[in-house]
């Protein structure tokens, strides 16, 4: 865990290699999977109301994460990575990653109990889930970057999300591109 925290950094350049199903499974489980019994999750949740809904966009479609099965249900067979990148102000990491984890939230689930303060709880919880994704990526030898700069309505439209699933974070994940290093002396040459 310490090693993963020490190595974590935002990775925005990917090699193009695909993710293995086990890697995707591990990442989605870390973000929102069942950890104990029937309902306890890997991420804490105010009042155990679990407002987060996770999606995965990859080259072969869009998937909704089902915690009870640690499984993915395909909601679209389209490759939306290019449109998703456009919705994220053209950020290249979104279209170059083999997969993007999308954290969305149903605010109403928590608002019923906590009122306006529930909004804060939802967003704190999304941060817990995102950090688990980032650290799990590192522990699998992968890289990721949390992205908050995007147009909510366009992301919702591109992914075909239900109206109450509000996107909070896009997290492109992939194999880090091996960067070429130049020696400073040679550059000055």
Q: Which residues bind ligand FMN (CB under 6 A)?
A: 9-10, 12, 91, 145-149
- Least separation in angstroms between CB 28 and ligand FMN: 20
Q: Give Cβ neighbours of residue 31 (< 8 Å, ≥ 6 apart).
A: 42, 43, 52, 54, 65, 101, 103, 129, 130, 132, 133, 136
Reported as half-sphere exposure (CB side, CA atoms, 13 A), residue 157 has a value of 10
Task: Using the minimum distance from each CB to ligand FMN, give the nearer residue, 72 or 85.
Answer: 85
**Considering the complex, what minimum distance in angstroms separates the CB of residue 85 from ligand FMN?**
11
Query: Residue 145 Cβ, how far from ligand FMN at the closest point, in Å?
Result: 5
Min. distance of Cβ 170 from ligand FMN in angstroms?
8
Closer residue to ligand FMN in complex, CB, 10/35: 10
CA-CA distances (angstroms) from residue 139 to 6, 69, 97, 132, 188? 11, 23, 18, 10, 37
- Closest CB to ligand FMN among residues 67, 132: 132
Instruction: Choose between 83 and 91: whose C-beta lies nearer to ligand FMN.
Output: 91
Closest CA to 173 of 148, 143, 146: 143
């Amino acid at each position: 865990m310490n090693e993963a925290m020490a190595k974590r950094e935002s990775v925005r350049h990917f090699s193009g290699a695909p993710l293995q199903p086990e890697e995707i499974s591990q990442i989605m489980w870390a973000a929102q999977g069942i950890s104990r019994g029937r309902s306890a999750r890997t991420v804490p949740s105010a009042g155990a109301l679990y407002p987060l809904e996770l999606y995965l966009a990859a080259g072969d479609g869009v998937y909704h994460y089902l915690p009870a099965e640690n499984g993915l249900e395909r909601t679209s067979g389209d490759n939306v990575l290019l449109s998703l990148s456009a919705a994220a102000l053209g950020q290249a990491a979104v279209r170059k990653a083999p997969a993007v984890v999308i954290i969305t939230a149903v605010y109403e689930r928590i608002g019923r109990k906590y009122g306006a303060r529930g909004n804060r709880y939802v967003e704190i919880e999304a941060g817990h889930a995102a950090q688990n994704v980032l650290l799990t990526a590192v522990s699998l030898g992968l890289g990721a970057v949390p992205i908050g700069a995007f147009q909510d309505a366009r992301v919702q439209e591109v992914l075909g999300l239900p109206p109450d699933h509000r996107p909070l974070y896009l997290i492109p994940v992939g194999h880090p591109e091996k960067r070429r290093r130049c020696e400073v002396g040679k550059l000055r040459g």
